[in-house]
Amino acid sequence: MPVNIPGILVPFHLLFNPRLVIPHVVVKDIRQIDFIALRKAGYRGAVFDKDNCLTVPYEDELVPELQDAWKECRSVFGQGNVLIAESVSHHLSVPVLRHASLKPSYACISRVRGYFSSLRVPVRDEELVVVGDRIFTDVVMGNRMGRGGGGVGGAEKETGPLAIWTRGVWKRESMAMRWLEKGLVDAVGRWTGGERLESGSFVKRIPVTEVKEGRLTRLVNRFRR
């Protein structure tokens, strides 16, 4: 697996804009995302991470538990309006962005914008949702695309994609880094006095108990209660 230099450099960018790590919506997995509510609010396209968001890491088959939610997402937005930001994927039935530059690089952002602007009915940044399980790549990429101004449907957020963080883990991977990302999000939120915008507007009020969590994640959650 190549070293993600853009991801490694994110902490330096945070010195100037720490809120880049703050997601707008937090869910355990995509089953909790209300895609119909997103579409009604004016969001018309979605960019997804693959590993530990839709699939088990380094595998290419959709996690079986996500079949219905993934089908709903593609139906609501339209298959061409859902993009996988990953180097390879052959079994998820949507276009794949094969990018040489890794997330959250500006080159990758340019490729994402290029794809959505090339559609028959172009999708603007503020009409996108960016969904992923990693703060330094997925959430930061979505927030870097923000350009200031008013949000979709009058939301008080920067004009740009809605960053959705999926915290569930289908297979344990980089758990220490995930714990650090979680701590950083909480610390920046407290320091800036900010709250996650629209955090409940697009979340289905249903329990999600099937998400597999590692021992470290369970321990952290136990202390948080």
Sign of CA dihedral 46, 181, 177, 6: positive
- Structure confidence at residue 46 (pLDDT): 97
Does 67 have pLDDT greater than 70?
yes
Does 148 have pLDDT greater than 50?
no
Residue carrying structure tokens 């579409």: 39
Q: How far apart are CA 139 and CA 27, in angstroms?
A: 13
Q: How far apart are CA 206 and CA 209, in angstroms?
A: 10
Buried b (16+ CB within 10 A) or exposed e, 71-81: ebbbebbeebb
Q: pLDDT digits over 207-223, tens only?
A: 545 545 555 555 545 54
Q: How far apart are CA 220 and CA 196, in angstroms?
A: 20
How much is the average pLDDT of 42-66?
92
Does 86 have pLDDT greater than 90?
no
How much is the average pLDDT of 23-38?
95
